[in-house]
Amino acid sequence: MNTTPTNPPPSTARSTKTFLITGVSSGFGRAIAQRALADGHVVVGTVRHAEAAQDFERLCPGRAHARLHDVTALALAAPLVTAIEAEVGPVDILINNAGYGHEGILEESPIDDLLRQFQVNVFGAVAMMKAVLPFMRGRRSGRIFNTTSMGGFITMPGITYYCGSKFALEGLSEALGKEVADLGITVTAVAPGSFRTDWAGRSMVRSGRSIADYDAIFDPIRARRQAVSGRQLGDPALAAGVIVDLAVGAALPPAHLLLGSDALGLVQQKLASMNESIEAWRAVTVSTDAPLE
């Protein structure tokens, strides 16, 4: 099925929304952009290369607007959004999609890899949120979607840095949502499971292996991930439809949204295990309270 949109008849001003999506060259970002364009909306998408910008704007001339931006250039996020507001129009919906996966055992992975992971997956997203918030707050209207991961709820050996970044983005999203709830702004952390994107392929950064003690736990996981790459359960086009529909049509989008049956099952297992552990250690937990006077 061809998901490249044609130019539909213009929508009314009230129904047409302007999306700002980071990382629209491929994966979720591309799928969300294509769906939003197909539904008649305006999309400003960030890319890192001129060729990618031209490719994106060809999707729908006049409504697909590319902007060159590296999310790690934190100081450039505010000028970028200010220019978009002036040149394209008010940003109704921000979708922080840019990010990547890091594979590596913590002890083997350089600290620089951790800094880079957080720079892209966390700090870049925060910079974009800070850039759009003054405009959304002034209009008392706006929606923010942050693409996290089921790795922001559960953990797996060998993607420790990645899970850390996604746990951080989940927490930031939830707390921000409470800060802006009375200002007409909603924040949703979208946590996909395994989808047919490039996450486990060319997009993933891998630290080298050096400690044999970790082979038994890590090697089977890496082999499994590589074996299913491209054949995961999740369909990015279906996820894109859910996100665009929520962004445009939901009266109150959820603070957290899992996507994919694998994410649902694994997160439910995690929550059940956590609750069991909390109950098992209840006596120790409450033993640290000061006596009532």
- Catalytic positions, written as ranges: 162
List CB contacts of 39: < 8 A, sequence separation 6 or more: 244, 248
Place of tokens 């089921």: 150
Q: How many whole angstroms separate alpha carbon 263 and alpha carbon 149?
A: 8
Q: Cα–Cα–Cα angle for 206, 67, 204, nearest 5°? A: 10
| Of 102, 114, 101, 105, the residue nearest 214 (C-alpha) | 105
CB distance 58 to 35 below 8 Å: no
Q: How many whole angstroms separate alpha carbon 151 and alpha carbon 103?
A: 12
Residue 184 per-residue DSSP state: T
List CB contacts of 203: < 8 A, sequence separation 6 or more: 26, 27, 100, 101, 197
Backbone angles phi, psi at 5, to 5 degrees: -75, 150
Q: How many whole angstroms separate alpha carbon 116 and alpha carbon 134?
A: 27
